[in-house]
Amino acid sequence: MSETRPITKAYGGYALGLLTVINVVNYIERNAIFALFEPIKRDLGLSDAHLGWLASAYVLVFSIAAFPVGVMSDLSSRTTVTAWGVSLWSAFTSLGGLARNFFQLLVSRAMVGFGGAAGNAASTALVADYFPGMRRAAAMSVFTAGLALGGVLGLLIAGQLEAQYGWRVAFMALGLPGFGLAFLISRLRDPIKATPLPSIRDQVRHLGLETRAIVFACIPLLTSLGIGAAAAFVLDQYFGADSAVDSAVFAICAGAGLALNIRSWVRRAAMGGVGDRVSLGMHSALAELVNGFETVLRTPTLVYVFIGGAFISFGMNGLVGWAPAFMTRELGLTVAEATVLLGKAGLTMGIAGTLAGGFLADWIQKRYSWGRVFVSAVGFLIGAPLTLWLLTIRDLTLFSWVFSAAFFFTTWYNGPLTSVIFDVVPQRISTTVVGAYLLFIHLAGDAIAFPLVGMLSDRFGIATAVLLLPLVALLGGIVVLGSVRTVGRDMDRASS
């Protein structure tokens, strides 16, 4: 079998373009539901707490699946995992338009989250490996511009489709583009696995082997999540949607399951042999899981980034999720008008802020090892207070100007902060650690923010509930700033 051609700059540019488009589509399909909150609430007879759980369903599954899927990507094919994830989230986005009740839509959004986890961690690692060294934050900022672009486009496109055809058609249409992208990514060459591309059938067969290994390794967590979901459903029916009992019980079950799973991984790794249940895949998966956790705990910079990232995820993703509902209720706009207002400023300033943050971080990084964490933190030290002011404004003209400024600064972190993870960990387990990062920041961040703000909104009104979000994001920026003291040492250790 012949060797593949070397990775050229042109091919790297193509790969970055394709992965960025996939990231855009990912966030379009993730954020579309936020523009559809009001019609979904009306048609299905839901409360704000229900809407919060619809948003959180994606985040919970995304975060929990991200770590084991990251392990799977490091053990097998990152391009196959990404293609599989894109196909899955596309299919269930379209199926969401057929939902007839809260439970069906909840399952649909959960499966979109599972597909997003498979695509995000692997594609992020691919970008980092295509563009090593001083070009990494800039390339990562181009890639993560898809977060801002796709996030805003999701609101804009879904809002316009809903106005013309209804929310069901909006979901069905948004799921279609991903299937073509899934085929293209399945044929992309991996920059650190320079062997000829296997057939798609062989890739899927190998992926199935590793999937069974990962599922078996996560049985305590999956069992606890199932018990927690069932208990939360029963408690929701008994106490009503406004009660916090269901979310508290689910959180307890999820936390207990994760703790049991970590204990199980450590014990099995310490025992050495784990049998021949799934060939050598099981042993490799356990070793990677434990190695990923150990890497995080013994790297101070990662501790700062993980904790700060959770606060940032809580604040920023919570704001994105509740912005259309806030604007329709407090500014008197229709869903279509709110998404157009967000789209005009968000598209320009989100992309500009993401790219500016990446290039500024790389420029400072050439002189100081703390350039990327510093730029990430400063963006929130400026942008979070602007966002807090924004949420008190009721004049549309002033609102638009302050929104533009706040969005510009709060998107600085998108490329640099992710790049820091690749700077301070060995390349071989980079996808595993990114998966651990996604698991932690979303499980401890926006998975809590969406239902919490929904419950606070039901009780105190949305204008009061959303004020919590920029305050938490500001705290995240302060925590990330603490890694200025540690990042240089951790980079030296990783490179050695």
Residue 4 pLDDT grade (very low, low, confident, very high; cuts 50, 70, 90): very low
How is domain 9-495 classified at the CATH fold level?
A: Growth Hormone; Chain: A; (1.20.1250)
pTM listed for this prediction: 0.66
Q: Could you write out the three-class secondary structure of 142-185?
A: HHHHHHHHHHHHHHHHHHHHHHHHCHHHHHHHHCCCHHHHHHHH
Residue 75 pLDDT > 70: no
CA distances from 265 to 285, 291, 293 (A): 9, 10, 10
Tens digits of per-residue pLDDT, 20-60? 899 888 888 888 888 888 889 888 888 777 887 887 788 77
Residue 282 pLDDT grade (very low, low, confident, very high; cuts 50, 70, 90): very low
Q: What is the pLDDT of residue 251?
A: 63
Spell out the domain ranges in the chain.
Answer: 9-495
Q: What is the pLDDT of residue 196?
A: 45
Check residues 364 and 262 and name the one with the higher pLDDT: 364
Q: Could you give the dihedral angle defined by the CA atoms of residues 307, 313, 319 and 325, in that order, rounded to the nearest 10 degrees?
A: -120
Q: What is the pLDDT of residue 417?
A: 84
Q: What is the pLDDT of residue 1?
A: 37
Task: Tell me how far apart the alpha carbons of residues 378 and 305 are, in angstroms, rounded to a whole number.
Answer: 14
Tens digits of per-residue pLDDT, 94-126? 999 888 888 889 888 988 988 888 777 778 778
